[in-house]
Structure 1
Amino acid sequence: MKSKTANSVNCSTCRDHQYVVSNKKGKVQATACKCFDCELCQGTGRILAEGADGISRISECQCADFNKKLKLFNQAGIPGKFVHESLGNFEVATPRHRLLKDALSHSRTFIKEFIQMKGQYSQGLIFMGEPGLGKTHLAVSIIKELILAHGVECKFVDFFELLRDIRHGYGEDISESEFMDPYVDVKVLVIDELAKGRNTEWELTILDHFISARYNDDDKVTLVTTNFRDKLDSGIGTEDSKKLSNASTRYTLEEKIGPRIFSRLMEMCKKVYLQGKDFRSERV
């Protein structure tokens, strides 16, 4: 692979990451940049090397790790609208609330500790706060870095959309497990918009199975985003929050998903509160 010149950018397209990301059919996808060039295997991913016994054998080239990361990234299911989001461009400047800066710090600490413990880090994060504060931005940015920098298998799922797919699957004789297993089994999972919708008995049964499966496997890490808080008075009381009148200010997360699922989530994840003004409304 081409070497970099110290303190300079050799490729203006990828800024020397050797990959580029784009929105393809609603999902974020990564492809090798044109500047990527492995001199060892000429792009085949395999090299012929002579062993100590004098016998030449085909082995995997070091660049294969790079290609595996791109494959994992493209299988993660990250929504296309988050193509450019990263921890580096998460807005925390004044007048945004200090809790947003704390949330960014928690996200960076999570990645650092996860890598230091070589993946044996089982406690995830649950981002709680009103819409438009960047909860999904942070969760997506975490798995982007885990995949592309460290090769960790991660996936993203909007639970509301997963339920829709399961319902559709019933009509085609597709079992629930076929939809759920890829998310149940993955090392790091982002569950976005938890408690969104009506949360019927059937929906909560699916969620209970989903959470319990990951809870019982302490090798799995779960990142969650939700508009609901653990307590109605957690961060409620500012002028901005008083103006809001929606379900997330009237119900707690426990009331939405039930005590059993809530208890397990609280054990699985560290709470991270976000508070401030909706950045989407500020841009209108």
Structure 2
Amino acid sequence: MKPKTRQAIDCSRCRDRKYVFINQKGKVRAEECSCFECKICEGSRRIFEETPEGISKIRECECNSLIKKITLFNQAGVPGKFVHEEFSSYSVDPPQHRTQKNALLHSKKFIEDYVARKGQYSQGLIFMGAPGLGKTHLVVSIIKELVMQNGVECKFVDFFELLRDIRHGYGEDISEKEFIDPYVGVQVLVIDELAKGRNTDWELTILDHFISARYNDDDKVTLVTTNFRDKLEKPAAYSNRNEKQSLSDAYQKYSLEEKIGARIYSRLMEMCKKVNLEGKDYRHIQP
């Protein structure tokens, strides 16, 4: 069997995608690569045509679809530290656990199903597992592909940081609604670090609003990452831990349902398919 011949790449910067990702002011942004040039419209993004009746018309050039996708991606709010995260950079080779390879396959299958169904009645994913297994890497990769390849509206929100912004907004007379609305109505929403923090009654009320609004809308899909599992394998000892340690290791002490409550948990499980990850924290694996 002859080996497959690799197709030559004309632009090493974008690998012929015609766009690149950069970290700008703490957010991942997409921009046109310097190699992007349309020979049809010569950069005007418009084409002048004349009908058989002699009427002049202007129509949008096909190259403008990339500009629209770039604009859409730059509204997604992906944190800048994930500028290089894509499916191609997600490692599934040893010593990575087999569940991480399964998670990668689930992520790609989700995109395939979402695009095929045009977003209707698609089930989201909830990635569950300890820190450092690549959960956020996968959801960011999904966003990049959905937006840049398929023009799907997506937004990324770190729920813990959103709560902090809402608290800060109270002092500036900014309502919760102004912070929440941009996320509630988006086609695909990524909620990162679900259940992080103390999960007070106020925090759970905000989360309930998020989940309930999307639960009742068939064409809205939610992707979630959390360090908490649906079941605990064994209880952890916490008697000698200080508060900071207890919060950071809480995923070993509580299940997700215990953290967010039965109502929110039940709806989330109906909205999303569970993807459990196991393995070692990549930050602790020596190269």
Fold similarity call, TM over 0.5? yes
For residue 53 of structure 1, report the CA deviation from its aligned partner.
3.4
Residue 102 of structure 1 and its aligned partner are, at CA, apart by 0.7
Q: Runs ≥4 in structure 1, deviation > 6 angstroms?
A: none
2:21 counterpart letter in structure 1: V
TM-fit CA distance, 1:283: 4.5
Structure 2 residue 155 is matched with structure 1 residue 155: yes
Offset at 1:95? 2.0
Cα distance in 1, alignment partners of residues 9 and 30 from structure 2: 20
- Does the Cα contact within 8 Å between 1:128 and 1:272 map onto a contact in 2? yes
Q: Is the 8 A contact 1:70 1:148 kept in 2?
A: yes
The residue identity in structure 1 corresponding to 2:259 is K
Q: Report the residue type matching 2:285 in the other structure.
A: E
Residue 162 of structure 1, CA deviation: 0.6
Q: Is the 8 A contact 1:208 1:261 kept in 2?
A: yes
CA distance in 2, matches of 1:40, 1:181: 40
Identity %: 68
User: Deviations 1:240-273 (Å, cap 9, x if unpaired)?
Assistant: xxxx982111100010000110001000000000
Aligned counterparts, 1:192-231, within 5 A: 192-231=192-231
The aligned counterpart of 1:3 is none
1:64 aligns with 2:64: yes
Deviations 1:206-229 (A, max 9, x none): 110111111111110000000001
Is 1:257 the counterpart of 2:244? The answer is: no
Moved more, 38-47 or 17-26: 38-47
- Cα 1:54–1:224 change in 2 (3 A) is same
Q: What pairs up with 1:263-282 in 2 under 5 angstroms? A: 263-282=266-285
Letter in 1 for 2:280: K
- Are 2:16 and 1:13 aligned? no
**Residue 30 of structure 1 corresponds to which residue in structure 2?**
30
Q: Aligned pairs, how many?
A: 271
Give the residue type in structure 1 aligned to 2:275. V
8 Å contact 1:113–1:121 — kept in the other structure? no
- 1:240 corresponds to: none
Q: Which moved more, 1:245-254 or 1:12-21?
A: 245-254
**Shift of residue 9 of structure 1?**
1.0
Q: What's the counterpart of residue 79 of structure 1?
A: 79
Distance 2:14 2:121 in 1: 31
Check conservation: 1:47, 1:58, Cα contact below 8 A: yes
Shift of residue 40, structure 1, vs aligned partner? 2.0
Q: Give secondary structure in 1 for the equivalent of 2:213.
A: helix
Deviation at 1:121, TM superposition (A): 4.1
1:170 aligns to what? 170
Deviates more, 1:217-226 or 1:45-54: 45-54
Q: 1:49–1:56: 8 Å Cα contact kept in structure 2? A: yes
Aligned to 2:101: 101
- For the 8 Å contact 2:113–2:122, the answer to whether it is kept is no
> Does the aligned pair in 2 maintain the 1:147–1:153 contact within 8 Å?
yes
Where does the alignment leave 5 or more consecutive residues of structure 2 unmatched? 1-5, 236-244
Give the whole-Å Cα distance in 1 for the aligned partners of 2:52 and 2:229: 61
Distance 1:13 1:281 in 2: 30
Equivalent residue for 2:241?
none
TM-score, length of structure 2 as denominator length: 0.91
TM-score normalised by L of structure 1:
0.92
Q: Is the 8 A contact 2:76 2:156 kept in 1?
A: yes
Residue type of the alignment partner of 1:158: D
After superposition, give the CA deviation of every residue in 1:86-112 in whole Å (9 maximum; x if it has no partner): 111111111211111111110111011
Is there any run of 5+ residues in structure 1 with no aligned partner, and where? 1-5, 238-243
1:139, CA displacement in angstroms? 0.6
Q: 1:101-138: per-residue Cα shift (whole Å, max 9, x none)? A: 11111011101111111222421000000000000000
